[in-house]
A and B are shown apart, each in its own frame.
Chain A
Amino acid sequence: MVLKREIYKEFENIVGANNISDDEALLDSYRYPLMHTAIHLGPYYRVYTPRGEAVLLPGSAEEVQAIVKLCNKHKVRVKASSTFWSAWGYPMEDNTIQLDMRRMNRILEIDEKNMFAVVEPHVIGATLQAEAMKHGLNTHIHGPGASCSCLASATALNGLGPDTAYLGHHSENMIGAEWVMPDGEMVRVGSVGSGLGWFYSEGPGPSLKGLIRGMVGSMGSMGVFTKCAIKLHPWPGPAPFPTDGRPPAYKAVLPDNLMSYTLGFPDWEAWADSCYLIWEAGIGYVAHRQFNMFGRDLKGAMVRILSDPTKTLGDIVELLKDPEVQKMTEDMKRDYQIVLAGMTPRDIEWQEKVLDRILEKTGGWKVEGMLEPNLHDWSLLYMLRLGHKNLNLVYGGGYDGCFGIGGTPDFATTGEYPRVEQATDFKKEWEKKGNIVAAGGDGMMGGIGGMGGGGMTLWENFTHFDPHDKASTEGTYEFFNATSEYGKQKGWGPGMEKMNDYARWTDGRTTPKEIRNKILSAGGQPEALRYQRKFYETFNPNDLGDSYYRTLD
């Protein structure tokens, strides 16, 4: 279906001729390849999301509102995305226009005293962080990394990241939003709605923030967020980063109040104990099992490659034979990275002592190999900016997370045969088939935090494959199916590898209703989704959203 010319013209009148296109090839650059890291469905070999009818680049909230009103008038679906990192941001069905929020990219305000920023959709983690640091502040950078929209993660998606325990989850950090609702009405949530500034997210009375998002947001199904306020946090370092080194092995030589360590533990219970103790003591600025995304067996070699501009992936086999690398890899078997940030000299001194005491109590250690100055400075920069996060794609171009064991640290780690090891062994067997990277079974990456102040951990078992390779892609799909079955058998649930099966199906379009209902009914509280159906009907009366919004009749 192609938009009728007169409707196209009406859209063009809103954004101007330069900011709209329905060229076929151009539209194809707004299709997501589902053989790829589709977070989290598939992978489906050479399947693409549907082509939109047109792409629009709105320049203001007023334009967005006019577009949404027009969409209501003509019953055209609308899907907005800012940084297009994954399949969530792309059309599900025909008769959809794609909004590319790129032109709305301003940081409107940084309130240094009250520690928040007001941003438009296309402000990314890297730019907000760079600007915040000039004020002695920092922003949480969520898991996908510095390339992604802050607003999208705060309003429409998740907002979890390596620094969450100190710099908050974006659901916590979002303290106000401007929202063009799917019916075309604009609401400003929080104190800003009363014209009083962006400092407070709730009320008056019951909080509409609850309608914007829960564990996750509505993934572009419920209108368009045009501004939001993001809480900022203390930054006790220089601005800008004094970055050094040759690409890609950039590093930051920062003052001694900023230290990066990789911690290793003798067993998983000790690992979990350390998480609880870190949260109780309140130390740590970033804490994340990050480099394990390269795999338990490969991470030692990978950090060597990535921190040395003369090396390439081709060096991996030789490096794996290096006794030093082998030792470091073994030391890092049950690990995570932690960055300490002392606000004062006394603070860093205390935090260092506390960390040592925690290691003493748990039998853990600082991984010696990672203390080498070059690696320290490299990992410090990596963890603080999260500017290399797409290294999850480094091996073959494709990855997805599976299992997704989330909750308290104990959930994955206790018992004689902890869940984390069960998931490892299960994947390791599948690695032998050759369709996914043989990384040692445990590619589990996740935050030591999960929410401000700590409280939960996440184990997303990264699985790497080659999306160009049919056998690899299809083998990965087969593995994910098996993973889900395994999870169900174990009572863990289907796992995050199937997280979006309810929404998008094997053809890249809306999941058939009976399958969708079956999946959604099996979740925790179907009643919640029946309420969401009511919200959808109430605020999206012309059904302009899509099935990423979870509803049950």
Chain B
Amino acid sequence: MAVKEELTGIVSPENVSENPETLGAYSRDLSFAKPIQPKAAVRPHNVDEVQALVAWANKTATPLVPVSSGPPRFHGDTIPGVPGAVIVDMSGMKNIMKIDRRNRVAIIEAGVTYPELQPELTRAGMRLTMPLIPRANKSIVASLLEREPTLIPRQQWTILDPLRCTEIVWGEGNVLRTGDAGNWPSMEFAFERKQSAVGSGGPAQTDFYRFVSAAQGSMGIVTWISVKCEVLPEPHKLYFVAADRLENLIDFTYKVLRFRFGDELLILNNTKLACIIGENPDQIKALMGKIPSWVALVGIAGRSILPQERVEFQEKDIADMAQSSGLQMTATIPGGQNGKVLDLILNVSREPYWKLTYRGGYQDILFITTLNRTPEFVKTMNSVANASGYPVNDIGVYLQPLHQGASCHCEFVLPYDRDNLEEAARMQQLFTRASQAMVEQGAFFSRPYGIWAKMAYERDTQTTRVLKKLKGIFDPNNIMNPGKLCF
């Protein structure tokens, strides 16, 4: 039987595609990953279909590649690692299954995007903290599973927050609900008893949801998740603390983290902030010259009880902290005004995706370290860029304190012209060199996409050993996105 026919027995015909153009779009992304054409793409609409797909894949030894977000994609994780794969496009699972204001929980399917969820949450008086300006078609599930950093470190009790519960179809075909959701026969049963899907632990003595985090779809397919929301802030203000030297801003940022004050808290260099504010390359270029070298963005929000008072006292206290670091907290910076920037960072990207605006393409290098170590990495990045003839001023830097300050996401964005083959080739070389330099300097590639996987797993052979055994349990036939990570 042809693949299409077989898949049509699982999902409705309009949700199976063998169209070469459609498949071509899944075969490549904007990374340097080698394109590989899948043999089909399917769009399941419920967990039964997902489970049936996985069963079929096991029976037929067909690799499955889960994809939830729309294009453009950037890290090669959704590109088949081997020929003959079937793309499982989860973007059709759009249900917002529950919004529980009392417990500040939302339950959403894998295809739900931020622009789809946020208005619903707003109506309920809540919002969900997001990564920095995701694209409009970014799946929330994919973002959280891939541990994309979110903007409010003080609300991050675990690295995976605000992700709480999940429903997983494992590579070997079983379905498991994790966290509090695993305690009940069904979520309806829980809601009747005023329970919710708020806790992430378990079930039993295993945090199963951690096995699908940063797994690039290699362990199973997540059909829905619950997320912990925040009360809709009002008032919500943004301030800037600018510095010529990153070290000074780090000192200030640690002070804010130490008191667990503020809300959004991140550091951007001038290029990165210019790319956020500027709407076209010229504007960006102009802004790069105006914006101070380093800027900490500090959101201060009021919620629930005495919100105005919270904002007011924290404005004063955080301003004092800035001053004690020899800096100033301001409502504007050259080229930027707080209301506008707040609006930008709290929303999804304009089209095209903001990181592409400056040069049409970019390559990023992202890893985990601690905030105090970030200047070393910046120095190394600049040095490798210089050596490769890449303009250092074009490098965007984004530092996002995580987990209430215990660690820090460090991201370098290197814009380039993808259409210029020579430039692209140079970028690929620079990317490889810089990645290697970062690893040598102690970058922790927690989400090891592409070439980073080998670098990361060579450093930790014991973790690799255990992960392979786990993979053998959850996906014994290696049908889930083979060729990724250490699998």
Where the two chains meet, the residues of A that have a C-beta atom closer than 8 Å to any C-beta of B are 111, 113-116, 136, 168-169, 171-172, 175, 181, 185-189, 191, 193-197, 199-211, 213-219, 231, 233-234, 236, 276-277, 280-282, 343-344, 346-347, 349-350, 353-354, 357-358, 361, 407-408, 410-411, 414, 450-453, 455-456, 523-525, 527-529, 531-532, 534-535, 538-539, 549-550
Contacts and interface: CB of A to CB of B under 8 A. Distances in A.
B402 to A, nearest CB: 8
B194 A410 contact: yes
Given A201-B159, A205-B447, A281-B306, A527 B174 contact: yes
A456 B466 CA distance: 33
Given A202-B147, A208-B470, 20 more contacts: A187-B466, A191-B368, A199-B370, A202-B446, A207-B213, A214-B208, A216-B202, A231-B406, A280-B104, A343-B260, A346-B314, A350-B306, A357-B306, A410-B194, A456-B198, A528-B176, A528-B202, A531-B208, A531-B473, A532-B205
Interface stretch (B237-245, B291-299, B421-429, B454-462): B454-462
A206 B211 contact: yes
Of B157, B403, B406, chain A has the most CB atoms within 10 Å of the CB of: B406
Contacts of A187: 462-463, 465-466
B236 interface: no
A455 B199 contact: yes
A116 B406 contact: yes
A186 B316 CA distance: 49
Nearest to A175: B406
Interface in B175-194: 175-177, 180, 182-185, 193-194
A181 B463 CA distance: 12
Contact of B212 (A206, A407, A455): A206
Contacts of A168: 157
Contacts of B12: none
B157 A452 contact: yes
Contacts of B210: 202, 206-210
Contacts, number: 296
B376 interface: no
Interface string B365-401: 0001111100000000000000000000000000000
Given A113-B370, A200-B406, A205 B209 contact: no
Contacts of A210: 206-211
Contacts of B317: 343-344, 346-347
Given A113-B372, A203-B447, A455 B208 contact: no
B470 A211 contact: yes
A196 B370 CA distance: 10
Given A191-B368, A194-B456, A199-B368, A357 B305 contact: yes
B195 interface: yes
24 contacts: A114-B406, A171-B207, A175-B406, A194-B456, A197-B442, A199-B407, A200-B403, A203-B147, A204-B446, A206-B213, A208-B463, A213-B205, A215-B204, A217-B205, A280-B104, A280-B304, A281-B303, A350-B310, A354-B305, A410-B194, A414-B194, A451-B200, A528-B176, A550-B204
Contacts of B402: 200
Nearest to A202: B159
Given A215-B205, A527-B176, A347 B463 contact: no
Contact of B196 (A282, A353, A408, A534): A408
A219 B205 CA distance: 9
Nearest to B460: A193
Contacts of A214: 201-208
B177 to A, nearest CB: 7
Contacts of B212: 206
B56 interface: no
B481 to A, nearest CB: 12
B206 A528 contact: yes
A445 to B, nearest CB: 19
A411 B194 contact: yes
Given A214-B201, A527-B176, A358 B206 contact: no
Across chains A and B, which 10 residue pairs bring their CB atoms closest together, nearest first? A452-B157, A210-B210, A215-B202, A207-B210, A214-B202, A346-B313, A210-B207, A410-B194, A204-B456, A280-B304
A211 B208 CA distance: 8
A450 B180 CA distance: 12
B463 A193 contact: yes
A188 B462 contact: yes
Given A113-B371, A200-B406, A550-B204, A207 B194 contact: no
Given A185-B465, A453-B155, A202 B213 contact: yes
A528 B203 contact: yes
Interface string B442-458: 10111110000100110
A361 to B, nearest CB: 8
Contacts of A203: 147, 214, 444-448, 456
A302 B329 CA distance: 51
B432 interface: no
B226 to A, nearest CB: 11
A202 B258 contact: no
Contact of A525 (B104, B176, B446, B456): B176
Given A344-B317, A528-B182, A208 B467 contact: yes
B231 interface: yes
Of A169, A349, A411, A528, chain B has the most CB atoms within 10 Å of the CB of: A528
Contacts of A181: 466
Contact of A408 (B103, B211, B305, B407): B103
A373 B447 CA distance: 53
Contacts of B486: 205
Contacts of B176: 525, 527-528, 531
Contacts of A280: 104, 231, 303-305
A172 B203 CA distance: 15
Contact of B448 (A205, A349, A452, A535): A205
B261 interface: yes
A527 B220 CA distance: 15
Nearest to B487: A205
Contacts of A188: 460, 462-463
A202 B208 contact: no
B206 A535 contact: yes
A211 B368 contact: no
Nearest to B260: A234
B306 A451 contact: no
Contact of A202 (B155, B160, B304, B466): B160
Given A194-B459, A408-B198, A350 B309 contact: yes
Contacts of B459: 193-196
A538 B406 contact: no
B215 interface: yes
Contact of A343 (B159, B200, B261, B407): B261
Given A210-B207, A346-B317, A350-B310, A115 B182 contact: no
Contacts of A453: 155, 157, 228
A209 to B, nearest CB: 6
B470 to A, nearest CB: 7
